[in-house]
Amino acid sequence: MPINLFIVRICLLPLRNPLTIDNLPVYSRFQDAYEFAETFIKTNQLTLRHDNVFDTNNRYYMYEDFMSEQFIWIEKHTVS
């Protein structure tokens, strides 16, 4: 039976590969991952993105600043 895992990636340093970040929060429920990211965004006075959907890479972007190369997203993985 496949299990979904949701990883919160917080990349606020420019020119950093977000796939190499250590100590990522991992959740078994999307809602828990969403609440963690939402709290982080509000605590750091960032702007929460409201037009979210999972993209073709299974990423749910919650914060984006292209000029500063800052991103926060929830990544969905399915484990068999």
pLDDT at 30: 96
Q: Give the tens place of pLDDT for each residue, 11-37.
A: 887 666 766 777 789 999 999 999 999
Rounded CA Rg of the chain: 12
End-to-end CA distance of the chain: 6
pLDDT at 8: 95
pLDDT at 37: 96
| Closest by CA position to 74, among listed 36, 23, 17 | 36
Q: Write down the residue that tokens 């993105």 correspond to.
A: 49
Helix (H/G/I), strand (E/B), else coil: 45:
coil
| Closest by CA position to 41, among listed 17, 74, 15, 14 | 74
Q: Give the tens place of pLDDT for each residue, 45-72.
A: 999 988 878 888 899 999 998 878 889 9
Distance CA 28, CA 45 (A): 26
Distance CA 12, CA 21 (A): 11
Q: Please say if the pLDDT value at position 75 is more than 80.
A: yes
41 against 23, higher pLDDT: 41
